[in-house]
């Protein structure tokens, strides 16, 4: 699922990622097909149980309260991004409320800075905290944009895919 969506914006990065995973495009397509079949099967588990069936037990589970609702935050390490975790947030009934890649504790990736964002290394949380950042929901579950002064950062499943510069508004000049 991750590789398929990320390949939409960054097909240039897929060959190296597949090599690191010791896989080829056919295996990636087959894995995506299996995921889609599971997601749409009437007999497959739902919510967190589906993620656990695919990824195994989470490496870390914590409870967080959001008002009077208790949420579970589950994290898995993924081999392609050892400095990130796949995070799934579920409600009391096990329904998935959010899932995305997040920064792992002790990550060696340098902090995000304007003009120095790293594709496939920085996550939404890294960039959303920059001065002037505005998080924008483009209406697609797997995608997020962060608008920065003069730039837009696009994310798929929480991972930075591309940064584009905004042209100056009428009457403005770029330094």
Q: If pLDDT is split at 50, 70 and 90, which confidence band does 1 have?
A: low
Same domain, 115 and 104: no
pLDDT in tens, 100-120: 999 998 899 888 988 899 998
Residue 142 pLDDT: 86
pLDDT in tens, 20-31: 777 777 877 777
Considering the domain architecture, whether residues 71 and 122 belong to the same structural domain is answered as: no
pLDDT in tens, 89-99: 999 988 999 99
For 132, counting Cβ atoms within 10 Å of its Cβ (0-12 exposed, 13-18 middle, 19+ buried), the class is exposed
Residues 33 and 63 grouped into a single domain: no
Predicted TM-score (pTM) of this structure? 0.82
Residue 175, pLDDT above cutoff 50: no
120 sits in the region (left: phi over 0; alpha: psi -120 to 50; else beta) called left
pLDDT value, residue 26: 82
Q: Same domain, yes or no, for 120 and 81?
A: no
Specify whether 101 is located in the same domain as 115: no
**Tokens 């950042």 map to which residue?**
133
How many domains does the structure of the chain reveal?
3
User: What does the H/E/C string look like for the chain?
Assistant: CHHHHHHHHCHHHHHHHHHHCCCCHHHHHHHHHHHHHHHHCCCCCCHHHHHHHHHCCCCEEEEEEECCEEEEEEEEEECCEEEEEEEEEECCCCCEEEEEEEECCCCCCCCCECCECCCCCCEHHHHHCCCCCEEECCCCCCEEEEEECCEEEEEECCEEEEEEECCCCCCCCCC
- The boundaries of the domain holding residue 160 are 109-168
How would residue 136 be classed by pLDDT, with cut points 50, 70 and 90? very high
Residues 121, 153 within the same domain: yes
Q: Which two tokens stand for residue 136?
A: 């924008």
Per-residue pLDDT tens for 32-89? 787 777 777 888 888 888 888 888 999 999 999 989 999 999 999 988 888 999 999 9
């Amino acid at each position: 699922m991750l590789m398929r969506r990320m390949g939409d914006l960054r097909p240039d990065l897929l060959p190296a990622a597949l090599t690191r995973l010791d896989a080829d495009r056919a295996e990636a397509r087959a894995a995506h097909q299996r995921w889609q079949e599971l997601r749409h099967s009437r007999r497959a588990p739902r919510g967190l149980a589906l993620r656990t069936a695919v990824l195994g037990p989470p490496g870390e589970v914590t409870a967080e309260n959001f008002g009077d609702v208790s949420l579970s935050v589950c994290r898995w390490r993924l081999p392609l991004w050892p400095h990130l975790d796949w995070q799934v947030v579920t409600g009391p009934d096990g329904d998935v409320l959010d899932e995305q890649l997040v920064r792992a504790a002790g990550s060696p990736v340098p902090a995000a800075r304007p003009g120095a964002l790293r594709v496939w290394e920085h996550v939404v949380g890294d960039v959303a905290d920059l001065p002037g950042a505005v998080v924008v929901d483009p209406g697609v579950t797997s995608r997020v944009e962060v608008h920065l002064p003069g730039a837009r950062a696009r994310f798929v499943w929480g991972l930075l895919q591309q940064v584009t510069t905004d042209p100056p508004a009428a009457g403005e000049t770029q330094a």
